[in-house]
Chains A and B, each alone.
Chain A
Amino acid sequence: NAGVTQTPKFQVLKTGQSMTLQCAQDMNHEYMSWYRQDPGMGLRLIHYSVGAGITDQGEVPNGYNVSRSTTEDFPLRLLSAAPSQTSVYFCASRSGYNEQFFGPGTRLTVL
Chain B
Amino acid sequence: QQPVQSPQAVILREGEDAVINCSSSKALYSVHWYRQKHGEAPVFLMILLKGGEQKGHEKISASFNEKKQQSSLYLTASQLSYSGTYFCGTGSNFNKFYFGSGTKLNVKP
Report the nearest A residue to B95, measured CB to CB.
A50
A-B contact count (CB 8 A): 62
Q: Which residues of B contact A97 (CB under 8 A)?
A: 29-30, 47, 49, 91, 94
Contacting pair B41 A90 (CB below 8 A): yes
Contacting pair B41 A100 (CB below 8 A): no
Q: From the candidates B49, B89, B96, name the one contacting A100 in the complex (CB within 8 A).
A: B89
Q: From the candidates A33, A58, A99, A102, name the one contacting B47 in the complex (CB within 8 A).
A: A99
Report the nearest A residue to B88, measured CB to CB.
A42
Q: Which residues of B contact A33 (CB under 8 A)?
A: 97
A interface size (C-beta, 8 A): 24
A56 beta carbon closer than 8 Å to chain B = yes
A-B interface, 9 closest residue pairs, ranked by CB to CB distance from nearest: A102-B41, A99-B44, A42-B101, A43-B99, A42-B99, A42-B102, A97-B30, A102-B42, A104-B41
Can you give 28 contacting A-B residue pairs, CB < 8 Å?
A31-B94, A35-B99, A41-B101, A42-B2, A42-B102, A43-B89, A44-B99, A45-B98, A45-B99, A48-B95, A48-B96, A48-B97, A56-B95, A56-B96, A58-B96, A59-B98, A90-B41, A97-B30, A97-B49, A97-B94, A98-B47, A99-B44, A100-B34, A100-B42, A100-B44, A100-B89, A100-B97, A101-B44
